[in-house]
Amino acid sequence: MADSFPSFHDGYLTGIQVAEGQATISLRQWKGACYELRLDGVELLQIEDFRQGNIIDRLEIITGREPDGSWYMERLSPVPHPSAAARYHDAHAKNLAALVAGIVSGETTLIAITPSYGADLVALCREATLQATPTAS
């Protein structure tokens, strides 16, 4: 899916709806075309700094390969406090390894929206589908 994905650079994240196990992200390209990115089987979702006029720098759909860098995974599963017992750090490392293994195997998909301004989103789901929607007037 990611290879045939249209570019959303300088587009907008215009809304998000979250329900049990799913999320729908409303997107608009800078040219005006509107889409819904539906996430099914949502395991983890983290969004920061949602504002009016969320401008997208980059939207990534990562599956079947290891994510570049660890910051996405650390946002979804924060590192225990440095003073926490070693067993918590060990459990965290095992959990992160399992999350990455799911992405690499294609069992799960990592969605990352990096902003130029506003909403910064990271999600882990079973499946992501993109559908064009009528353009708002």
In the predicted structure, residue 136 carries a pLDDT above the cut 80: no
| Domains: count for the chain | 1
- Is 7 domain-assigned? yes
Q: Determine the structural domain holding residue 56 and report its residue range.
A: 2-132
Q: How far is CA 122 from CA 45, 47, 52, 86, in A?
A: 6, 6, 19, 27
Q: Are 44 and 76 in contact (CB under 8 A)?
A: yes
- Is 99 domain-assigned? yes
- Is 137 domain-assigned? no
Q: Is the pTM of this model over 0.75?
A: yes
In the predicted structure, residue 29 carries a pLDDT above the cut 80: yes
Q: What is the pLDDT of residues 95-131, one digit of tens each?
A: 999 999 999 999 999 999 999 999 999 999 999 999 9
Q: What is the mean pLDDT of the chain?
A: 92
pLDDT, average across residues 42-48: 95
Residue 137 has what DSSP assignment? -
* H-assigned helices in the chain: 71-76, 86-105
